Amino acid sequence: MPNEFKSGFIAIVGRPNVGKSTLLNSLVGEKVAIVSNRPQTTRNRLMGVVCDEKYQMVFVDTPGIHKPRTQLGNFMMQAVQEGMEGIDALVVLVDVTAVGPGDRQIAEDMSRKKLPVLLLLNKIDLVQPQELLRIIDIFKEMPFAAILPISAKTGEGLDTLRKELLSRLPAGPKYFPDDMLTDQPERVLCAELIREKALRHLRDEVPHGIGVEILRMEKKSDNLMEIHADIYCEKDSHKSIIIGKHGAMLSLIGKEARIDIESLLGMRVNLQLWVKVRPDWRNSKADLRTLGYDNRE
Ligand SMILES: Nc1nc2c(ncn2[C@@H]2O[C@H](COP(=O)(O)OP(=O)(O)OP(=O)(O)O)[C@@H](O)[C@H]2O)c(=O)[nH]1
Ligand SMILES: [Mg+2]
């Protein structure tokens, strides 16, 4: 039946930093996932819902595929696996400015899955057409349902992507209400926005060891939310960097996070941040559980 409602779950996978979360946000039209130019920004799987009168596409963003070196890394890779369970289609992203053997291996493995798999060549706004042709050549023998050049950032190619996906989705129900954009609770979104600002301003090994725990969210009036959060880091030296000279770095992170959280919650926010040293928290079961990186459902 040509007019049947279509729906389905579509996982977004690929190496770290290729633009998976940027793509999710562009498709949803709102920021539901944090984005940074540091690899391993996304640590958990999360959903973004895209609706129309004819369809509902539920995109599942996943952490970048990498070799885990910590318990947190194991959790992230498990989130990738779980993100690919029960899906109707899969999109594999590569960054056209940085295609390596890891991308080839992932593309090869994913292209053989028994469901529609699309390869997205992302960040085409950064390369010349000649270079794009060379990259298409690398993947063209692999059994993808389609290979599409896109820019998650500018939106180029996303209409074609939606059409290609729609033509491959089954008839199905509306899984989520029209106004639901993501499965992430406000508390998690707030913690993520704080982490995003920390990633933006910190470098070297500091970003990887950052975790954010929301301790308390308390509505003080109709128009004011008070939020207390801890920023975890792994060493005293990292703590000094995060706090910065006379507290300048922490106050910058706090200010930027507060602006985003205010627009998310639609009210004024009083954001109180503390920095805590938690040596090796990425290998501590208790800390991972506190931060929501828990393998048990
Ligand atoms: N120029 C350009 N930059 C992009 C594009 N898509 C993503 N980026 C940038 O690439 C970086 C990584 O983007 P993310 O969306 O965080 O990548 P990711 O694949 O989710 O990364 P992980 O969560 O670490 O696996 C950010 O700096 C984005 O702004 C694009 O189409 N063009
Ligand atoms: Mg991401």
Q: Which ligand is nearest to the CA of 14?
A: 1
From CA 122, how far away is CA 156, in angstroms rounded? 10
Tokens encoding 193: 């926005």
| 6-166 CATH choice from 3.40.50.300, 3.40.140.10, 3.40.50.720, 3.20.20.370 | 3.40.50.300
Ligand 2 centre and the CA of 33: distance in Å?
A: 7
Fold equal for 6-166 and 186-290? no
Ligand 1 centre and the CA of 37: distance in Å?
A: 6
pTM of the model as a whole:
0.97
CA 24 to ligand 1: nearest atom:
15
Mean pLDDT per 10-residue segment, the chain (297 residues)? 89 98 98 96 98 96 98 98 98 98 98 98 98 97 98 98 97 96 97 98 94 98 98 98 98 98 97 98 97 78
Task: Determine phi and psi for 125, rounding to 5 degrees.
Answer: -65, -10
For 10-33, what is each residue's pLDDT tens digit?
A: 999 999 999 999 999 999 999 999
pLDDT of residue 294: 86
For 32-56, what is each residue's pLDDT tens digit?
A: 999 999 999 999 999 999 999 999 9
Q: CB neighbours of 128 closer than 8 A, spacing ≥ 6?
A: none
Neighbours of 30 (CB within 10 A): 13
pLDDT of residue 255: 98
**Domain boundaries defined on the chain:** 6-166, 186-290
CATH code: domain 186-290 is 3.30.300.20
pLDDT of residue 252: 98
pLDDT of residue 3: 79
* C-alpha pair distances (Å), 66 with each of 13, 78, 154, 292, 294: 11, 11, 27, 20, 19
